[in-house]
Amino acid sequence: MNKFKEKLILPEALDKKWGFVFLGVFGLILLTLIINTIITTKTFSFGNLIGYSLFSLAVASLSSLGYFNLKWFSKILIGTAVIGSIYLLIASVVLIDNSWGDLISVATFTVIIVIGAFIGLLVQLGDFVYKFFKK
């Protein structure tokens, strides 16, 4: 059980393994958005790739702030990115006949990630205040 638990823990602050976390989150979000576009619109353009790459870069950069010892923020943001990706893939299959389905699913995916970032920020601030007053 301990070995399984160790694999779920993010790297320590200032560890170079955060680069792998960045690449993992970047790849997850980019692939999710590409798959959603192909399923819902049946077309894909270079402009889509650029936009999706920039969005993935932003979220992956935020999720890698654990490098600077913001672990709670990173854990919550990564968790909501995974939940949002699962939602987006399910919604793209379920809403395939809906003309607004692709836009609604991507907008909801973005809202899920923004909510996750906000909750992560609140939890991280709460952790900071707790440790500050504990001393």
**pLDDT tens digits, one per residue of 61-105:** 999 999 999 999 999 999 999 999 999 999 888 876 667 777 888
Of 75, 81, 78, 74, nearest to 110 by C-alpha is 81
Task: Fill in the DSSP letter of residue 110.
Answer: H
16 phi, psi to nearest 5 deg: -70, -10
Given pLDDT bands bounded at 50, 70 and 90, which one contains residue 6? low
Cα–Cα distance for residue pair 72/58, rounded to 1 Å: 18
Tell me, yes or no, whether 3 lies in a domain: no
The amino acid occupying position 103 is: L
Of 62, 71, 68, nearest to 113 by C-alpha is 62
Tell me, yes or no, whether 4 lies in a domain: no
What total number of domains does the chain contain?
Answer: 1
Tell me, yes or no, whether 8 lies in a domain: no
Domain that holds residue 58: 14-134
